[in-house]
Amino acid sequence: MADDLERPGGDAEHEAPPHAAPPSIWPFAFALGIAVALIGLIISWPIAAIGGAIALVFGFLWIRDATREVRGAPAPAPPAAVEGEEEVVGEGPPQYPRSVFLEGATLGIGALIGGIVTVPALGFAVLPAFVEQTYDPVDLGPADTFPEGQWMITKFISVADEPPDVSRRTAYVRNNGSRDGQPSFTIISNRCVHLGCPVQPQGLTEEESQEVETEAGPVEVTATEPSGFVCPCHGGAYDIEGNRTAGPPVRALDRYEFSILDGRLVLGQPYSVAEVEGEGSEALIKAYPIADPGVHVDGPEQYFYPYVP
């Protein structure tokens, strides 16, 4: 009789058909982790890392529970031997319940869809952090084009290979004299740190400009007497050192590094500034990597961008 056939390692208790793992909260916790990670990609890296860790831990627990049944269950009973046929014990492919197959297929398809959706987004979000943006030095002409204490509006081409309409930039330059024997210049970007509109000097600007020849093309230089800078878009206002004084901007105006090469003023990398203490050559400035408009570079707000409290 088939029922009387002996199975290796089998007894009445072990012969009970395997059953699916009881419902667990791991899938929901895993989904929560993915959601937190995606939100973190927009808000801040620490939150993305926490979400990733949650997804990793609960994903592991989910998979472990889902596969426990397969690992712990005995092999299903082989088909009953038909009279006259020789019984083959312990051979043939392993067999799994359909529920296990469906669960595995659901996990696999879910992972595939998750990967298709997440990987490109992750790539676009993460890659720029590893690709350092560099800026070409820009020759603004002889340093004596900039008299001490005088603000100058400079308009120049920032990237020689790009069309002028795309790469034309404006910076406000003031020669501060010297500090500790070194030349000192204040060079402020005209990009508003609210949404990026061009800020304007608030005060009289000469009508006549001069063109300074450089290898990359002419630089337009115009003298101005600003008492501060204003943004025409939403009323953002800055003092003469670029500190925000009113309106929606979230930090001080960005600045440029500079150097004097062969007597010429050369713009270097731009950098961001939270606040400037002091004035001119005595100013105390903490430089941050250049940040987009609207982004805080210091304080707790930097972790909540774009949700500014």
User: Smallest distance, Å, CB 235 to ligand FES?
Assistant: 6
User: Smallest distance, Å, CB 240 to ligand FES?
Assistant: 17
Nearer to ligand FES, 18 or 247 (CB): 247
Closest CA to 107 of 67, 71, 74, 68: 67
User: Smallest distance, Å, CB 296 to ligand FES?
Assistant: 15
CA distance 51 to 37: 4
Nearer to ligand FES, 33 or 194 (CB): 194
User: Smallest distance, Å, CB 112 to ligand FES?
Assistant: 43
Nearer to ligand FES, 140 or 296 (CB): 296
User: Smallest distance, Å, CB 236 to ligand FES?
Assistant: 3
What does the binding site for ligand FES look like in residue numbers (CB under 6 A)?
192, 194-195, 197, 231, 233-234, 236, 247-249
> Sign of the CA dihedral 96, 98, 103, 105?
positive
Nearer to ligand FES, 52 or 236 (CB): 236
> Sign of the CA dihedral 214, 217, 223, 229?
negative
Nearer to ligand FES, 66 or 199 (CB): 199
CA distance 51 to 57: 10
What would the DSSP string read from start to end of 42-90? HH-HHHHHHHHHHHHHHHHHHHHHHHHHHHHSPPPPPPPPPTTSPP--S
Buried-exposed string 19-49: b where 16+ CB fall within 10 A, e elsewhere: eebeeeebbebbbebbebbbebbebbeebbe
User: Smallest distance, Å, CB 105 to ligand FES?
Assistant: 51
Nearer to ligand FES, 40 or 249 (CB): 249
Asked if 248 contacts 236 with a C-beta cutoff of 8 angstroms, the reply is yes
Nearer to ligand FES, 158 or 190 (CB): 190
User: Smallest distance, Å, CB 156 to ligand FES?
Assistant: 22
Nearer to ligand FES, 33 or 201 (CB): 201
Amino acid at 262: D
Find tokens 């982790």 and name the residue: 33
Q: How far is CA 162 from the centre of its chain?
A: 25
CA distance 249 to 293: 8
Using DSSP, state whether 106 is helix, strand or coil.
helix
User: Smallest distance, Å, CB 269 to ligand FES?
Assistant: 23
Q: Which helix (H) or strand (E) holds 184?
A: strand 182-189
Q: Euclidean distance between the first and final Cα of the chain, in Å?
A: 77
